[in-house]
Amino acid sequence: MRILAAQIHIPAIDTREKQRAHVDSVIDRLGEQIRAQPVDLIVLPELATMEYSKENFQRIDEFAEPLEGEFYARFAAFCREHRVAVCYGTPRREGDRTYISQVVIDRHGDYLTHYDKMHTAEYGDSHEFKYFTRGDQLSVFEIDGVRAGIIICYDMRFPELSRRLCRELNVDVILHPVAFSKDLSFHSWRQFVTTRALENQVYFLSVNRSGPSFGQSMLCPPWIDDTVPPTVLGDEEAFQVVTIDREVIADVRARLPFRKDVLADYDSLAVRGA
C-alpha cells in the first residue's frame, strides 16, 4: 500500500468561512499531488481542518461538525473522484461532546472508521483537556490487505495502546497524526516514534502540520540501522510517499524475533528483593 503523508500548511483560521476556504485549498493541493503520483491512502495531520490554538478551542462549536458533516461530504467526493482513501483530522461533534477525531473514507467515498483521541494533552502548548472528550474505542481498517491502526499525538506516550494494536489486532502500520508544536515535549517525539516502530516491528507514520512552530514529521520503517534510516521532513509543507511492504515486515520479524520472545504474562511475575 502506498501512503501519502501530507504535512500541510494550516493558516490562521478565525471564522467558519476561512475554515471552508482552507479545506477547499487542502483538497486542491492533494489533487495536484496524487495526479502526479497516485497513492492508495492519504494521511492528514491531527485537527487538519482547523488552526490548533487555545483561542480556537474556546470557540470549538464554530469549527466542529458531526461525523458526516460538510467536510466529510467534501472529502468523500474527493475520494470518489480520485479513487483514493483519506484519513483526515477534524473536531467531531456528537451531542454536547466534541472529540479530536481522525475519519477514514475509502476510495469509493464510503465511511471506513473513525478514531477519537484517547489521551487529551494539557501541558506545554496543548490545551485539549478542557474542550475535548476522550475517546474509548480502538480503530483498525484494511486497504488492499494492509491493516492500519490509528493513534493521535499524545497517545504515542502510552505503549499499551500501540502494543494492543500490533500484538492483538495485527496492524502493519500505525498512523499517528499529530499537532506537535515546538514546546517542551517536541524534542522527545522522535525517540517515541522509533521506539514504537521497532518494539512492535511495524511502520509508524507520525504526520505533523507544517510551519516554523510545527513540522518535522517522522516516517519510520519496522527496523532502522545505518543503511535504513527513518524519513524526517523539514518545517515547510511537504508530501512524502511511503510504501507499506508486508514482505519487509515479515523479513524483519524473521531476522529479529522479538515478538516470539514476548512472555505471555508479566503481571504475575514475582519480585525478588522488594
Strand order, beta sheet including 203-207: 140-143, 146-150, 173-177, 203-207, 218-220, 231-232
Instruction: Report whether 175 contacts 212 (CB < 8 A).
Output: no
Average pLDDT along the chain: 96
Instruction: Report whether 146 contacts 39 (CB < 8 A).
Output: no
Is it the case that residue 46 has pLDDT exceeding 80?
A: yes
More confident residue, 263 or 217: 217
CA 171, 167, 121, 188 torsion: positive or negative? negative
Is it the case that residue 274 has pLDDT exceeding 80?
A: no
Per-residue pLDDT tens over the stretch 138-155:
999 999 999 999 999 999
Residues 6 or more apart in contact with residue 35 via CB below 8 angstroms: 82
What is the percentage of the chain residues whose pLDDT exceeds 70?
Answer: 100
Is it the case that residue 185 has pLDDT exceeding 90?
A: no
Per-residue pLDDT tens over the stretch 78-135:
999 999 999 999 999 999 999 999 999 999 999 999 999 999 988 887 889 999 999 9
Q: What average pLDDT does the segment 245-263 reach?
A: 94
